[in-house]
């Protein structure tokens, strides 16, 4: 830590620079994007439409935070498990005083006071809620209403915005501006079956299946219906009950997906009788609702909480219901409410301010990476790193579109880029492509194979370079590909997706008082997260810290506790996609494989 006097000496020459740079200068374009494929200009929004404008200030010490993150997450490092405190992380991501001073003076010159601004704990984000006409003047831009032709969604966005040139080095990005992502649940609704019937129950296979390779025995019915018992058998966790009082698990909910407590009781009565009458904590983020009408029960939310909380019971469970980016209705003269930012940042702002966030968190939502501005993806990914440094494990579904975007008929996917060049490329998903989260792909049946084509997503990021923890495994996979295969269709130097996998089809879920079979990587992520919570329990009961950011462990010692999936391929974009193989692979998007809890519980305790 630098002394106050030393800080004053260092900053004294910068104060003059800050004063000089506060003089208003001409606007210069900060960011511009091509109109994303599938969006058309619909009209002009009302001038009094309100927007929650978020301004990100640079984090000059982020590389130092990243160093800390990798050291405390590497099982071979002396600092493994020595996670940072909330205050230590905030100190590392705080903007430079010059940036704070320059941006404050700009906002003050526009008539804003401190009461108008909401600052993040680290002061690296400033939020102001203003009429759209004011935002247009500030950013020297014009907003329009845009319509997504296929879905009918509407957004108020611009394709370019400007800032005074003296602010460019002090402001990293401003949103919502160029962000056209649709932010959708990572599931394919075609895999949601008709309501579960008694006929299916009477036709369930009897007996058991033994995996010759692992020796694991599973009820034969698990190839027709996935229940908690099936997952415990498949992943070698039968008989384990967590007991650490300081353990916790979280599920994120967005887009008015409500986790219904009556449905949870039906699920517990059916699959986890010991948990009947237990419930979960609901935390509202930015006014997120908690509608408990059975008619409004969310299939995504019910799936997530039932399996994540069912596997990990009685670990302390939390469901985050986050408001944001409700569909804009262009035919109303008056706006229904403020136009919030992408819910990722709304939720991240909230959870980074929590003194003790849940230790393992699953999110089953995502965007096509190419619909997310690069600056936004980078900054959001950096926020995920802050949570990892504090000891939080973050799991994200890898997506459901094969190597494509999943928006079209898989047989005719064209996988066209949004960069205005209309190139054909594989389409990775975000946030799964962020190297600071654990991306979860899908498998099915037992013995496990990669889930059916177009039902699990991944590949290689176009935004993020391959992290060092992947170098050995991803390089080995690429070396086995035929020379020139898919040249130009993917970025061989990009972060590989996913990292791991879990069962993702035929999950028996209660929705609106009825049982359904449902699937998607939206099922595999909460299931995997449930087992991460069990592993945290093992460590906490041994007096050790939680696992935190998982990937450095998974790609080193943890690999020995994963079931390798070697069968399948992931088609899309007019190609067969990548093949599954021994070791890590994006083929069928199984990554390193699925969890063997019995082995992993020993590995997380090994020195």
Choosing from 304, 400, 473, 505, which is the catalytic residue? 304
- The answer to the question of whether 311 is labelled as a binding residue is no
Contact predicate 183/342, CB 8 Å: yes
Q: How many CA atoms lie within 13 A of 390 on its CB side?
A: 27
Q: How many CA atoms lie within 13 A of 251 on its CB side?
A: 33
**How far separated are the first and last CA of the chain, in Å rounded?**
31
Catalytically annotated residue among 300, 369, 448, 505: 300
564 appears as a binding residue in the annotation: yes
Is residue 300 part of the annotated active site? The answer reads yes
Residue 247 near residue 360, CB atoms below 8 Å = no
Q: Which one, of 385, 378, 386, 401, lies nearest residue 498 by Cα?
A: 401
CA 574/CA 571 separation, integer angstroms: 7
Q: State how far the Cα of 88 lies from the Cα of 83, in Å rounded to an integer.
A: 10
Do 403 and 450 contact (CB within 8 A), yes or no? no
What DSSP letter does each residue of 467-528 carry, written as one string?
Answer: PGGGHHHHHHHHHTSPTTTTTTTS-TTEEEE-SEEEE-S-EEEEETTEEEEE-SHHHHHHHH
522 is catalytic: yes
Cβ–Cβ under 8 Å, residues 572 and 413: yes
- Options 221, 393, 452, 522, the catalytic residue: 522
* Nearest Cα to Cα of residue 38 among 155, 194, 176: 155
> Which of 384, 491, 487 has the alpha carbon at shortest distance from 439?
384
Whether 66 and 385 have beta carbons less than 8 Å apart is answered as yes
Binding site residue list: 564-565, 583, 585
Binding site residue list for Ca(2+): 564-565, 583, 585
Residues annotated as part of the active site: 300, 304, 522
């Amino acid at each position: 830590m630098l002394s106050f006097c030393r800080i004053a000496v260092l900053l004294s020459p910068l104060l003059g620079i800050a004063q000089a740079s506060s003089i208003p200068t001409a606007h210069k374009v900060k960011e511009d994007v091509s109109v994303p494929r599938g969006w058309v200009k619909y009209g002009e929004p009302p001038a009094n439409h309100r927007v929650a404008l978020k301004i990100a200030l640079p984090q000059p010490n982020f590389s130092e935070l990243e160093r800390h993150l990798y050291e405390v997450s590497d099982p071979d490092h002396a600092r493994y498990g020595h996670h940072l405190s909330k205050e230590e992380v905030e100190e590392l991501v705080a903007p430079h005083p010059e940036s704070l001073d320059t941006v404050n003076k700009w906002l003050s010159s526009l008539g804003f006071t401190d009461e108008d601004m909401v600052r993040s704990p680290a002061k690296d984000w400033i939020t102001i809620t203003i009429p759209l006409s004011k935002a247009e003047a500030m950013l020297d831009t014009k907003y329009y209403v845009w319509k997504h032709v296929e879905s009918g969604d509407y957004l108020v966005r611009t394709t370019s915005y400007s800032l005074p040139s003296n602010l460019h080095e002090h402001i990293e990005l401003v949103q919502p501006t160029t962000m056209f992502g649709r932010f959708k649940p990572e599931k394919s609704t075609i895999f949601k079956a008709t309501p579960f019937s008694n006929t299916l129950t009477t036709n369930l296979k009897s007996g058991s299946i033994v995996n010759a390779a692992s020796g694991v025995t599973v009820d034969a019915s698990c190839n027709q219906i996935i229940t908690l018992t099936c997952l415990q058998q498949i992943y070698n966790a039968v008989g384990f009950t967590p007991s650490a009082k300081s353990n916790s698990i979280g599920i994120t909910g967005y887009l008015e997906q409500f986790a219904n407590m009556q449905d949870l009781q039906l699920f517990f009565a059916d699959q986890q009788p010991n948990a009947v009458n237990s419930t979960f904590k609901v935390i509202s983020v930015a006014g997120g609702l908690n509608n408990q009408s059975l008619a409004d029960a969310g299939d995504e939310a019910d799936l997530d909480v039932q399996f994540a909380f069912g596997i990990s019971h009685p670990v302390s469970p939390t469901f985050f219901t986050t408001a944001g980016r409700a569909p804009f209705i262009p035919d109303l003269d008056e706006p229904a409410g403020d136009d919030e930012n992408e819910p990722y940042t709304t939720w991240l702002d909230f959870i980074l301010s929590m003194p003790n966030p849940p230790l393992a968190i699953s999110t089953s939502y995502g965007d096509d990476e190419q619909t997310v501005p690069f600056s936004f993806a980078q900054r959001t990914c950096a926020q995920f790193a802050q949570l990892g440094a504090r000891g939080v494990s973050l799991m994200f579904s890898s997506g459901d579109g094969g190597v494509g975007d999943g928006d079209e008929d898989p047989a005719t996917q064209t996988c066209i880029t949004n960069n205005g060049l209309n190139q054909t490329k594989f389409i990775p998903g975000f946030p799964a492509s962020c190297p600071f989260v654990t991306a979860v792909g899908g498998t099915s049946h037992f013995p496990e194979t990669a889930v059916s084509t177009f039902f699990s997503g991944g590949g290689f990021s176009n935004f993020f370079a391959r992290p060092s923890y992947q170098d050995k495994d991803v390089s080995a996979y690429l070396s086995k590909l035929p020379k020139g295969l898919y040249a130009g269709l993917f970025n061989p130097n990009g972060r590989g997706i996913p990292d791991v996998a879990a069962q993702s089809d035929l999950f028996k879920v209660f929705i609106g008082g009825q049982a359904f079979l449902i699937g998607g990587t939206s099922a595999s992520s909460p299931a995997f997260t449930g087992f991460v919570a069990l592993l945290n329990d093992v460590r906490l009961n041994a007096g050790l810290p939680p696992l935190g950011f998982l990937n450095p462990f998974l790609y080193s010692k943890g690999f020995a506790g994963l079931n390798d999936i070697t069968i399948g391929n992931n088609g899309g974009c007019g190609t067969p996609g990548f093949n599954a193989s021994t070791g890590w692979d994006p083929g069928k998007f199984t990554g390193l494989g699925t969890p063997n809890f019995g082995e992993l519980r020993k590995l997380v305790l090994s020195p």
